[in-house]
Amino acid sequence: MTLLPDPVWPVIALAVISFVDGLLCLRPAGFIARCFEDVGWPRRLWWIMPPIKFAAAGGLVAGIWIPGLAALTTACLILYFVIAIASHIRARDFGRNLFLNATGMLVLCVATGVFCFLA
Assess if residue 93 is contained within a domain. yes
CA dihedral 27, 29, 31, 37 (to 10 degrees): 10
DSSP, res 116: I
Instruction: Kindly state whether residue 64 falls inside one of the protein's structural domains.
Output: yes
Amino acid at 18: S
Q: Which residues contact 13 (CB under 8 A, 6 or more apart)?
A: 112
Tell me which DSSP letter residue 8 carries: S
Residues 6+ apart with CB under 8 A from 112: 10, 11, 13, 14, 74
In a domain? residue 2? no
Domain assignment present for residue 73? The answer is yes
97 against 68, higher pLDDT: 68
Least reliable range by pLDDT among 21-25, 37-41, 91-95, 112-116: 91-95
Within a domain: residue 74? yes
Structurally, the chain folds into a number of domains equal to: 1
Residue 85 lies in a domain: yes
pLDDT(98) > 90: no
Using N-to-C axis directions, what is the helix angle for 9-26 and 103-113, rounded to 10°? 150
Domain that holds residue 68: 9-118
